[in-house]
Structure 1
């Protein structure tokens, strides 16, 4: 199911659960761009903004495109965890990453097999509030329909 894996990854790219992330420096260090940080400094980055940067993702960065994660044979193509930071990187990488993907795939298959989902008002824009966690601004009204034959 490489396409499902790609679709979930593309969703996490555009709509990260953690929109703003911060780290505390345990020792003096120099960031890749040459900026010096000192022990105790807090360094924050914005995954929400990073995943929309043309410099990182190309001109189609705003487009939901699961195919960007597939190679020419249709197999899932991993990106550096320092580019796609949904599960952190290096020594901080999430030990539950594979379990999380497995859970998302199981729930996706079960829900999409049984139901069809539609926005109640497809013309109403969905806006987000990138706080610590990415939140929908207001509410999201969705209608569900049973799929026939299930």
Structure 2
């Protein structure tokens, strides 16, 4: 959960009013799974939801996808984290095929700061055959 303190009275876009000194608490984990925000498939792993009709990456509002915070408190490492994610994805996915060790196992998380997968996520990685592209 993230907590913020209101420094002045304000009215949010939906009409909700907050007063100076109010604490606002939000939970990014829950927000990332809300059907109200993401649609009926909110809990499904669909990487293509981040692509436009031409297959190009489209940014969501940092206030909708709040993993890196937003506004004046946005994470200064966001762009670096995105670059690392893209580099590792290209290298790993172009070199290996990944399959879950147990495709019937339900994935659950430990309630901690970083929400690790309870018991880990065990996969088999096998080298891709033929030429790969970096």
Shorter-chain TM-score range: 0.7 to 0.9
Task: Tell me by how many angstroms 1:117 deviates.
Answer: 1.5
Show CA shifts across 1:78-116 (max 9, x none).
221111112111001122222211111111111112112
Equivalent-residue separation in structure 2 for 1:99 and 1:86 (angstroms) = 14
Residue in structure 1 matched with residue 42 of structure 2 by the alignment: 61
Q: CA deviation at 1:52?
A: 1.1
Tell me, in whole angstroms, the C-alpha distance in 2 between the residues paired with 1:105 and 1:36: 41
Which structure is richer in relative contact order (CA contacts within 8 A, separation 6 or more)?
A: 1
Question: In structure 2, how many angstroms separate the alpha carbons of the residues matched to 1:37 and 1:145?
Answer: 56
Checking the alignment, whether the CA contact within 8 Å between 1:48 and 1:130 is kept in structure 2 is no
TM-score for the superposition, normalised by structure 1: 0.73
2: distance between equivalents of 1:37 and 1:59? 35
Q: CA RMSD in A?
A: 2.1
1:42: how far off? 4.9
Give the structure 2 partner of residue 17 of structure 1. Answer: none
Verify the 8 A CA contact 2:97 2:125 in the aligned structure 1.
yes
Q: 5+ residue gaps in structure 1?
A: 1-19
1:1-150 residue pairs with structure 2 within 5 A? 20-23=1-4, 25=5, 27-30=7-10, 32=12, 33-36=16-19, 38=21, 42-149=23-130
| TM-score, normalisation: structure 2 | 0.80
Is the radius of gyration larger for structure 1 or structure 2? 2
Structure 2 unaligned residues grouped into runs of 5+? none
1:31–1:37 contact (8 Å) kept in structure 2 = no
